[in-house]
Amino acid sequence: MSSVRANLCRLPLLVLMGAMPALAVPPASDPALADTSGCTALINIVQESLRGELEVPCAEPNREACEAKNGQIRAMLEIVEQRRQRKADECETLAQVNRLLRTLPPKG
């Protein structure tokens, strides 16, 4: 009976030891989770679109609002460049840019 009790006492330890390799593997080791190429492609598209917005000259009567919007766009483009220089996660950058895009005034 004592050998059974000793084995039962070791059971949680054995379970934990068996689970350790799974716990030790970081999520980034999964290539599907580490692939940010889709996010990178979307950021590139957003950058191109924002640069196109800056090429349109601001005209009266909404010149002041247009220039304010262009300032926000320049700031967004700068944020993307800074994050890329720091090699920040592209998907996190995309999420941040998405939040910032929602703060822009509507077109029109």
Each residue of 47-67: pLDDT tens digit? 999 999 999 999 988 899 999
Asked whether residue 80 is assigned to any structural domain, the reply reads yes
Task: Give residue 79's domain range.
Answer: 28-101
How many structural domains comprise the chain? 1
Cα(40)–Cα(46) distance, integer angstroms? 10
| pTM, entire model | 0.65
Owner of token pair 């601001």: 58
Helix residue spans in 1-108 (DSSP H): 2-24, 31-34, 37-55, 63-85, 90-101
Give the pLDDT score at 23: 42
Chain centre to alpha carbon of residue 90: 5
pLDDT band with cut points at 50, 70 and 90 for residue 37: confident
Cα(23)–Cα(10) distance, integer angstroms? 20
What is the 8-class DSSP label of residue 106?
Answer: P
Asked whether residue 6 is assigned to any structural domain, the reply reads no
Asked whether residue 4 is assigned to any structural domain, the reply reads no
